[in-house]
Structure 1
Amino acid sequence: MDRRIKKNQTAIMHALLQLILEKEFEKITINEIAERADVNRGTVYSHYADKYDLLDKCIEDQLRHLMETCYAIDAAEPFQTKAPLLLTIKEIEINARLYKALLRIKDVPSFRIHLSSMMNKQIMAQLKANSHLCLDDLGQSIFAQFMSSAIVGVIEWWFAQSMPCSAEELTDRLWSLLEMNLMTG
């Protein structure tokens, strides 16, 4: 990819993320994004269909970074140990302002859906790696959906409660629940 294109896309994404920290997504305009990114409005439209498309690309980029962090320790299987979960929660903690802002965007639940999907895939990989568990494919899918929704819900609760415990404690408690549910599943 042309360096100029990549530079513009990075500037545009960064501009949107900065604006999301300052105001409601619904009130952000393409003109504000272009101005903040120091590009023409047409440049934004040459890369993204609209601000919702740009938001989706930003979310994908943020979650790709989160996944890279998560896979950093146990690349073979996510969540074989709690270390990748801890890294994920710590990364979320470090970028709490941004993730809180992304989770509270009205009428655009894509960040929550993407985060839940990422967790679901990790849990499914864990279930497939633990073939000794007596769950058929449907049981694995239901369990992964249940746990991924629960984990994202707990992260949302953690933010809403002004992060009343450390990333380590949250991870320990989530890991205990995951292990308990895996044993009974």
Structure 2
Amino acid sequence: MNSDDPRAQRTRARLKAAVLDLAAQQELTTITVSALAKRAEVNRATVYLHYPDVDSLVTDAMEDAVAAVARAAALCPLDAPRDRAPDPLEDLFEHVAANVTMYARMLGPHGSARFATRMRDRLTAELTHRFATGQRPRGWDDVPVEIHAAYLAGALVGVVAHWVSAREGPGHARTRQEAALAFWRLFRTGCQGLPED
């Protein structure tokens, strides 16, 4: 199948909209291909023609969200003060808060491992590129660039996953601003240059 064909693009768009609608109402593990086909008004064979399984469809449907998160993380000025999260990070947590049910489902215990991996990999690539183009703080030369980027990307995905699933109780960040600031203080420590010997 030619993925550039306008009919194929329309079908994929319908399938992505259908899976996001269903995921807003139920856990990912309970979404069936039959339900997807019915919601998208296509037959089951059409679903399989475009996607091998529900998880790959969900990951594709959330690609714009992954890109938005990666862009926001890559735009954070690493030298911003500790007491205020940078605007791109605030924007990132605002985006997550606006889609909290979806992120909780995607990153929760019954979520999509592919989505979490895709999000982490995209963030790692953005940070690796940033570090490779001279925007890496000094003092980390003894740590490979990709490892440094993967460490920070994994931390962000972990914090987002925790925040969307555990926003109640003592010791938890209740608002997106609290979560962004808490993450920024940790992230900034992992990005700041180490003192000279």
The aligned residue for residue 182 of structure 1 is 191
Q: CA deviation at 1:36?
A: 0.6
Shift of 1:102: 0.8
From 12, 20, 24, give the equivalent of 2:15.
12
> In the TM superposition, what whole-angstrom CA distance separates every residue of 1:132-159 from its partner, at most 9, and x where no partner exists?
5122374433332222222221112212
| Structure 1 unaligned spans of 5+ | 72-76
2:148 matched residue in structure 1? 143
Partner of 1:38: 41
Q: CA RMSD in A?
A: 2.7
Distance 2:183 2:160 in 1: 10
The 2-side partners of 1:88 and 1:111 are apart by 17
Structure 1 residues 92, 132: closer, same or farther in 2, change over 3 A? closer
The letter of the residue matching 1:165 is: R
CA contact 2:137–2:191 (8 Å) conserved in 1: no
Greater RCO structure (CA 8 Å; 6+ sep): 2
- For residue 133 of structure 1, give the secondary structure of its aligned residue in structure 2: coil
The residue aligned with 2:76 is 79
Letter aligned with residue 179 of structure 1: R
Could you tell me which runs of 5 or more consecutive residues in structure 2 were left unpaired when the two chains were aligned: 79-85
Match of 2:83 in 1: none
The residue aligned with 1:167 is 176
Identity of aligned residues (%): 23
Q: Give the structure-2-normalised TM-score.
A: 0.75
The answer to whether the 8 A contact 1:127-1:133 is kept is no
Greater helix share, 1 or 2? 1
Aligned length: 179
Letter in 1 for 2:19: L
TM-score normalised to structure 1 length: 0.79
Superposed CA offset, 1:105-143 (max 9, x none): 538411221222233233334434335512237443333
Q: How far apart, in 1, do the equivalents of 2:129 and 2:87 lie?
A: 15
2:98 & 2:157 partners in 1: Cα distance?
Answer: 16
User: Where does residue 74 of structure 1 map in the other structure?
Assistant: none
1:158 aligns with 2:167: no
